Amino acid sequence: MSTGWQPSSAEAPAEAARPATAVRGGAGFVFGHAFAVAMALAGGVLGIVGAAIGELRAGGFILLPILGAPIIEEMLKPTGVYILLARWPRLLRGRLHIASLSALAGLSFGVIEALVYIFVYVPDAPDWFVTYRLTLPLAFHAFASFIVGLGISPALLAWAKDGAPFPKSSMRFYVTAIALHAAFNLVATILVFAGYFDVD
């Protein structure tokens, strides 16, 4: 069973007018691939800005770290992949490619988040905290974004552009990633209150 998809015939005329980044083979392929990776990484940066704004606007919500943040972050981390899907869909070479790019977006999101924790929130943190922030949360952000990426498809774009029903497969992947993220945050919160994450 194929895990990929191709633009429909209805998309073909519009695709013919796309820039050289969509050209198959040779330098066009290399540039297109590099451009897709750059967009995914940049999207992670845009995602963390959007998530920060959304979380600030929800200030005071007691369940924000456990439930609110996972919803906001998992929806926004693949921002660059959404842009690729809307503007340069031929650069997306199937479901696993989209999921991999989404994982890169999650990784870039996680790196920025880790640096904020290390240099802003806990500037004098012990070595173990720095090691923790630069390992497990980064891997988890990439993993959760990979799951979200499995649900990013033209059907999701049709929902955003034309008001089509939200695709059920996309919903399953989003809910799974959000649930895992919420569980991760819940465990971390419990460990903090239990004194296991003492950074003084």
pTM recorded for the entire structure? 0.81
Per residue in 130-188, pLDDT tens? 999 999 999 999 999 999 999 999 999 899 888 889 999 999 999 999 999 999 988 98
Output the DSSP codes for 105-120.
HHHHHHHHHHHHIIII
Q: Which residues does 12 contact at the CB level (< 8 Å), separation at least 6?
A: none
> 134 in a domain, yes or no?
yes
> 54 in a domain, yes or no?
yes
Asked if 69 contacts 55 with a C-beta cutoff of 8 angstroms, the reply is yes
Per residue in 83-122, pLDDT tens? 999 999 999 999 999 999 999 999 999 999 999 989 988 8
Total domains present in the chain: 1
Query: If you average pLDDT over every residue of the chain, what do you get?
Result: 83
> 142 in a domain, yes or no?
yes
> 116 in a domain, yes or no?
yes
| Percent of the chain with pLDDT strictly greater than 90 | 55
Range of the domain at 59: 20-193
> 4 in a domain, yes or no?
no
